[in-house]
Amino acid sequence: MPLRITCRAAEPLDLRADVTALGVFVFTRELPAPLKPLDALLGGGLTKLLAKEEFTGKKDQSLSIPMLGRGPSERLVLIGLGEKTAVGDGDVRALAAKAARLTNVDRSAHLVLGIPIELQEHLRAAAEGLELGAYRFTKYLTGDRRPKTELDEVTVAIAHKPGAKTKRAIELGQRVALAINQARDLSNEPGNALPPEGLAAAAQAVAKEHDLKIHVFDHKEILRRGMKLIDAVGRGSVHEPRFVHIEYVPKKAKKRLVFVGKGITFDSGGVSIKPAAGMGEMKHDMSGAANVIGLMDAVAVLQPEVEVHGIVACAENMPDGNAYRPGDVWGSLDGKTVEIINTDAEGRLLLADALAYARTLAPDLLVDNATLTGACVVALGTTCSGYYASNDATAELFRRAVKASGEQMWQLPLLEDLREQLKSEVADIKQTGDRFGGSITAALFLREFIGEAKHWVHVDIAGPASTERLLGWAQSKGATGHGVLTFLALVEQAAE
């Protein structure tokens, strides 16, 4: 259920709650003004505790203090924000997310959030963070396994009486976060509960809710259109592939952005089967597709004057007698032939046909995202996604969106000499290159299918283990959600 989020013109330490969380800028000797009344109440005890714990408001510091009846809240949580000049939307979002998560960890239901007056213009980001931080995937827990108490009410203490603008900011932020959480729910669904047709149905539900136009291609239509690589990947499963195109087209659109997501609802590796250890995490291999579905939900809420298209290619990669094989040569929607080297490198095949379709929309910006390579996780770790761009201008545009979102991504190079690894003796291109530089060669492979699109970004999402630490949001596994805020920033920048 969505949180009940309200704003009140009050000092946060005057409000009764289970937990009161305060964002604190860096300070040196003098205690921040909001904490002085509490320090006086405690006879200087707060000053002594902060000194002992060496808490000075540095970014990422936090301190949880049980109040033992000495205030209106049972627990006070201080969260460091760093220097005033360096704080923006991403930091406020992270503050709220950490506060919500810590409240859940404390098994508490009511949170008061205090945001410094200098940051109270960022209330949409605060609402986003609250819903993201409170997220838990508990659908399949029963009896004693279900949480007994969860955060359900938040009071945001601000300096002014909340008006219509404030309430609208909270509402928008909450709806954006719920869209992201829907994407995370999709990723956390087990493979038996969400086959390709189920993922397509989730996209249809979003389109129906917002009256968006949607096209869903079944297997016959995929074959008729010549999407041979999508067909190849899905041949080994009893669940046939699906292809989804959602449209958000306002009357006065300034630009056209197209987002593409990989939707492998379960990845066994196919004939090149994965090791048993960790294979269960491959239910998350549709995280890129879930991100696109969540993005379209959020876009429909925000209603920017930008045309946005969401494209999702869905399949299940399984190893039955009809499965595609290493050594096969398959055609593609683009027309190029592809030599299959490893059936566990299936995501790029889905994306190749999806990109070939997407480029026909003549986008001003084309973005694909996928949990594509383990090589990227090896390079950047589990809390940072990598991205590639077709040129410096596009890379800078995407970098600004990443910074605005507060997410963690890093640009990787499209090293042209590695293109040699994709040369095939029997087809136009190999599906994979050598072991080293695997994320780069995957991006170079995808670039072959973008046609004349000048502005293209490929995002290699941090792997399924990334969830536990991404801005402190997740209580459950699943990389989904990482990227949606950046994509929304791209959309909102295009609307300016």
CA distance 460 to 412: 10
- Residue 300: predicted pLDDT: 98
Q: How many residues does the chain have?
A: 496
Say whether pLDDT at 473 is over 80.
no
Helices and strands (H and E) in the chain: how many:
14, 17
- Are 255 and 494 in contact by the 8 Å Cβ rule? The answer is yes
407-411 average pLDDT score: 92
> Angle, to 10 degrees, between the axis of helix 287-302 and the axis of helix 196-210?
0
Q: Please, which pLDDT band fits residue 480 given cuts at 50, 70 and 90?
A: low
Say whether pLDDT at 208 is over 90.
yes
Say whether pLDDT at 464 is over 90.
no
Say whether pLDDT at 244 is over 80.
yes
Helical ranges in 189-317 per DSSP H: 196-210, 219-225, 228-234, 287-302
Question: How many angstroms separate the first and last alpha carbons of the chain?
Answer: 33
Q: Please, which pLDDT band fits residue 268 given cuts at 50, 70 and 90?
A: very high
CA distance 441 to 419: 7
Percent of the chain having pLDDT more than 70?
A: 96
Q: Which two tokens stand for residue 5?
A: 């989020």
- Mean pLDDT is lowest, of 82-86, 399-403, 478-482, 483-487, for 478-482
pTM assigned to the model: 0.94
Q: Please, which pLDDT band fits residue 463 given cuts at 50, 70 and 90?
A: low
Q: Between vectors from CA 139 to CA 135 and to CA 145, what angle results, nearest 5°?
A: 95
- Residue 469: predicted pLDDT: 42
Say whether pLDDT at 477 is over 80.
no
Rounded to 10 degrees, what is the CA torsion of 52, 57, 58, 62?
Answer: 70
CA distance 471 to 159: 26
Type and span of the H or E element at 493: helix 484-495
Q: Active-site residues: which are they?
A: 274, 348
- Are 354 and 368 in contact by the 8 Å Cβ rule? The answer is yes
Identify the structural domains of the chain with CATH numbers, from first to last.
Answer: 4-162 (3.40.220.10), 177-495 (3.40.630.10)
Q: What does the mean pLDDT of the chain come to?
A: 93
CA distance 46 to 31: 9
Q: What is the pLDDT of residues 359-381, one digit of tens each?
A: 999 999 999 999 999 999 899 88
Q: Specify burial of residue 425 (Cβ count, 10 A radius: 0-12, 13-18, 19+).
A: exposed
- Residue 476: predicted pLDDT: 36
Helical ranges in 211-286 per DSSP H: 219-225, 228-234
- Mean pLDDT is lowest, of 181-195, 241-255, 306-320, 459-473, for 459-473
Strands 256-267 and 365-370, by their bridges, are: parallel
Beta bridge partners of 308: 248, 257
Q: What is the pLDDT of residues 75-106, one digit of tens each?
A: 999 999 999 888 889 899 999 999 999 999 99
- Residue 33: predicted pLDDT: 87
